[in-house]
């Protein structure tokens, strides 16, 4: 008989698990959670450095570097951008994805205990960002997890007028 942990572990390496890409109020929640994490870390840095005056920006930028990890595996394939993020032992339910014309933001809940130690002590979630090399159409985004790797695909916008249409539609739906 398999334990739930072994079942989950084997399930994570089997078939792809599609992921939902958030929009609307959920998008704002992710951005607010990220700002909150950065603000809390910046305050801890400020406090640990003896609460110096006029170093707010320095502390904020350091906190941002510590909390928001850059995704380096971003590549173009024809008219598509493909992002790969290796995050072993995280079930599909542990991801929240936000995609807009300029970037993707991925929030990852704490992985299962078999993962190597976290880069930040006491972290319960991690944030990753991918900057697009050109504007993309967020409505074409799709994502899945397979074998501990998140794959996100999104189509490039082929013409600047398409970008204006998408921005206009997004502004009206907000």
Domain ranges of the chain: 4-23+69-173
Residue 125 has pLDDT above 90, yes or no: no
Is the distance from CB of 144 to CB of 18 less than 8 angstroms? yes
Percent of the chain's residues with pLDDT above 90:
49
pLDDT at 42: 95
- Per-residue pLDDT of 134-155, as tens digits, reads 999 999 999 999 988 999 999 9
Domain 4-23+69-173 coded CATH 3.40.50.300 = no
Q: How far is CA 163 from CA 74, 96, 110, 168, 169, in A?
A: 20, 24, 35, 9, 10
Q: Which of 4-13, 59-68, 113-122, 158-167 has the lowest mean pLDDT?
A: 4-13
Percent of the chain's residues with pLDDT above 70:
74
Among left, alpha and beta (phi > 0; psi -120 to 50; other), residue 91 is beta
Q: How confident is the model at residue 35 (pLDDT cuts 50, 70, 90)?
A: very high
> pTM of the predicted model, to two decimals?
0.73
Strand stretches in 121-161, DSSP E:
125-131, 136-146, 149-156
């Amino acid at each position: 008989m398999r334990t739930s942990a072994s079942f989950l572990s084997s399930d994570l390496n089997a078939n792809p698990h599609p992921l939902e890409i958030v929009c609307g109020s959920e998008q704002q929640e992710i951005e607010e959670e990220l700002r909150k994490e950065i603000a809390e870390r910046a305050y801890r840095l400020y406090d640990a450095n003896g609460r110096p005056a006029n170093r707010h920006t320095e502390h904020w930028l350091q906190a941002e570097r510590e909390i928001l990890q850059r995704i380096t595996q971003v590549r173009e394939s024809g008219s598509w951008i493909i992002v790969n993020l290796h995050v072993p032992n995280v079930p599909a339910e542990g991801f929240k994805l936000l995609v807009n014309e300029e970037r993707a933001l991925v929030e990852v809940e704490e992985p299962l205990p078999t993962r190597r130690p976290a880069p930040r002590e006491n972290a319960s979630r991690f944030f990753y960002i991918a900057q697009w090399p050109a504007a993309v159409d967020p409505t074409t985004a799709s994502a899945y997890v397979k074998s501990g790797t998140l794959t996100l695909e999104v189509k490039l916008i082929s013409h600047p007028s398409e970008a204006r249409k998408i921005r206009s539609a997004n502004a009206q739906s907000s």
